[in-house]
Amino acid sequence: MPQDREDFTEFARARATPLYRSAWLLCGDAHRAEDLVQETLAKVYVRWHRRLAPPIDNPAGYAQTTLVRTFISAQRRRSSHERPVEVLPDRGHVDDDADARIALSAALAELQPLDRAVLVLRYLDDVSVAETASRLGISAGAVRNRSLRALDRLRSVLGASLRDFIES
Amino acid sequence: MTNHDTGVDRIFHEATHRLNPDVDRLVAGGLERGRVRRRRHLAGTAVAAVATVGVIGVGAAVVPQLTTGPAGDLPVASGETSSTVAASPSVPPSATPTPPPASESPAPDTTHLGETAGPTVHAADIPGLVDQLVPGHDVGEPLMQPPYGVSDAPDDKTVHFEVDGMLTTVIIGPASPTLAYDCADEAVVDCRTLPDGTVVQVSVPTVNDGVTMQEVIALGDAWMVSVLSYNADDRPKSSEPLQDAPALDEEELVTLATSDAWFE
């Protein structure tokens, strides 16, 4: 295997799980999360192997940004070709955190895609306000406003559950 | 963190920390999609340029008999052409009748496309083999300058070169029906199934302002070979068609796509 491809495979293996966790919160189900991660890795692969382009400074950050942008872009196209279903798709295996995850996922689903992306970047990926703004192409103020609005919305949806999560 | 968001990060982390995906599947899928995207990017520049020319000149030179469907799934630069490639009435009907069905002529042995062993040819050697398989042309060296270049991975052989001064591309990779044409779309592709199950897909020449491209895909169980031929050089955006039809005719494209020379 060429060194370049070997390096990429090693990177992809290292980042697949964190990317998947972000994707799961963004998408709300396992299948779409897998699809989003694979699409993200494909885009990073192309950039990674682009001739005459400088190496990616921060591959992990680049992949995370690609993931979020791909998600937002896909959401903009969704309404034209996706149908809502009464039964949610498979959410993957159930574990001790499944209830919390499903509740959180349902609450996140109430948010606008961009708000969801702001929360995932800020609170799962621990990205600063300024960096979140840069990655999403919006102002820092917009990141703060969207965070506040989205958290308020989460609280109203989760209600006591959110307090339980925090206090547990 | 502020009072407003205290504990939110912990909720997010705890809700996801036991999500452990199938990393092998994610990486394999990402690699496969990435290779496809990269092949499209490399091989598609010319087609994209052709499509751009077509958009500009379609009203004057081409009756907009737009193709639909499979162009969007073409293995090479398909997405760029799906809505702009048009069949031109300026291309006269072929002087020769449609080749007889495969059963009336000796079928090529394409069993290699169903075998696990992959291509053995070095990508850089492909032009030389083309010269041997379809003699009588002036076959150039691999195009190395961006956006072209050679891919010589074990499961991805891609090379661009000129035949009689016109762009030609050969791509050998894992069989992927999603990358091939939809045989149901007979307006765009003529599919023939060989005795061993290999499907040979001969695309209808696509024309934009006189720049023509034709592709033949041999799609086996394990591997596929795609050969594209143009009637313009490697800078179709700025160059004129050099002749009416692509440098390699349909029979030659089939010969190349079904050849076992790449797997010997």
Q: What is the pLDDT of residues A50-70, one digit of tens each?
A: 765 678 889 999 999 999 999
| Cα A139 from Cα A132, distance rounded (Å) | 9
Helix (H/G/I), strand (E/B), else coil: A51: coil
Residues 6+ apart with CB under 8 A from B208: B50, B51, B53, B54, B57, B58, B62, B84, B85, B86, B88
pLDDT in tens, B224-243: 999 999 888 887 556 788 88
Q: Which residues make beta-bridge pairs with B166?
A: B163
Helix (H/G/I), strand (E/B), else coil: B176: coil
A87-101, B79-93, B184-198, B233-247: which range is least confident on average? B79-93
Question: pLDDT tier at A144 (50, 70, 90 boundaries)?
Answer: very high
A77-81, B45-49, B64-68: which range is least confident on average? B64-68
HSE-up of residue A152 (Cα within 13 Å, Cβ side):
6
Beta carbons of B33 and A17 less than 8 Å apart:
no
Say what the pLDDT of residue B153 is. 85
| Cα B112 from Cα B258, distance rounded (Å) | 9
Task: Point out the residue among A16, A46, A92 whose CB comes nearest to the CB of B27.
Answer: A16
ipTM: 0.83
| Cα B210 from Cα B189, distance rounded (Å) | 20
A119: which chain B residues are within 8 Å (Cβ-Cβ)? 8, 12
Beta carbons of A25 and B12 less than 8 Å apart:
yes
Q: What's the distance, CA B204 to chain centroid?
A: 13
Beta carbons of B8 and A151 less than 8 Å apart:
yes
Mean per-residue pLDDT of chain B: 73
A76-90, A139-153, B91-105: which range is least confident on average? B91-105
Mean pLDDT (whole number) for B80-99: 37
Residue B81 has pLDDT above 60, yes or no: no
Mean pLDDT (whole number) for B142-166: 87
Say what the pLDDT of residue B4 is. 59
B25: which chain A residues are within 8 Å (Cβ-Cβ)? 34
| Cα B137 from Cα B160, distance rounded (Å) | 16
Mean pLDDT (whole number) for A5-28: 92
Residue whose entry in the numeric block shows the structure tokens 């799980």 = A17
Residue B14 has pLDDT above 70, yes or no: yes
Residue whose entry in the numeric block shows the structure tokens 């091989």 = B43
Say what the pLDDT of residue B1 is. 52
Backbone angles phi, psi at A101, to 5 degrees: -65, -45
Closest to A145 in 3D by CA, of A119, A109, A168, A167:
A119
Chain A to chain B Cβ contacts (< 8 Å): 132
Residue whose entry in the numeric block shows the structure tokens 């680049």 = A62
Helix (H/G/I), strand (E/B), else coil: B80: helix
| Cα B98 from Cα B108, distance rounded (Å) | 18
Mean pLDDT (whole number) for B181-195: 82
Name the residue of chain A whose CA is nearest to B7's CA. A166
pLDDT in tens, A80-134: 344 444 444 444 444 556 777 788 888 898 899 999 999 999 999 999 999 999 8
